[in-house]
Amino acid sequence: MLLKSAWGILFSLVLPGLALVGCDRKTIYKSHEEIKDAQWYADVKPRFTVNIEDTTARYNVYYLLRNAVQYPYYNLYLTRKISGPDNRVLSHDLVELKISDEITGKPYGKGLGDLFDQKIPFLENHTFPASGQYTFEISQSMRQNPLPFIMSIGICVEKAK
């Protein structure tokens, strides 16, 4: 019984503290979607909905990418669609991300074992025209389908300094 209450006290004190340490005040949204079996099919289009309240603030928006070192290319083509609060498409773009060195093949980002995480900017000091929910839809646009060794894709929205 004493052991149980000691664990309860420990968790009630430590976990809230860890949650506070892990929070980043400038991050207003961060989410990613796991890619099933690390095989990203072209028809799999993760969607991320972000609520923007302050239209006077400037924001930085990033892709969050996790890939295995075995990913066979140095780049990744994505199609990105951004829709505004009124569901109108604000942009629909094909973009190229360089995710490893073209010559050496060394992956960019931070690695742990054979997995690499990257935070790649795509909107910097951006202001959103209206408050409300913005939807970001991302799909892979490579010639290979499915695209192997992509573990997850996501976005992060932060208030710019």
Q: What share of the chain is helix, strand, coil (3-state, %, to 5)?
A: 15, 50, 35
Sequence length of the chain is 161
Residues 6+ apart with CB under 8 A from 113: none
Neighbour tally for 156: CB within 10 Å: 21
Please give the single-letter amino acid code of residue 115: L
- CATH class belonging to 26-159: mainly beta
pTM: 0.82
Q: Where are the domains of the chain?
A: 26-159
Quick: pLDDT tens for 35-88: 999 999 999 999 999 999 999 999 999 999 999 999 999 999 999 999 999 999
Residue 126 has pLDDT above 90, yes or no: yes
Handedness of CA 55, 78, 35, 89 (dihedral sign): positive
Confidence of residue 113 (pLDDT cuts 50, 70, 90): confident
Residue 22 has pLDDT above 70, yes or no: no
- pLDDT at position 24, please? 64
Average pLDDT over the chain reads 88
Q: Which residues partner with 138 through β-bridges?
A: 80
What percentage of the chain carries pLDDT values higher than 70?
Answer: 84
Which whole number is the average pLDDT over 125-133? Answer: 96
Residues 6+ apart with CB under 8 A from 41: 140, 145, 146, 147
What three-state secondary structure class fits 84?
coil
Instruction: Quote the strand ranges of 74-114, DSSP E.
Output: 75-83, 89-98, 110-112
The number of CA neighbours under 13 Å toward the Cβ of 64 is: 17
Please give the single-letter amino acid code of residue 96: E
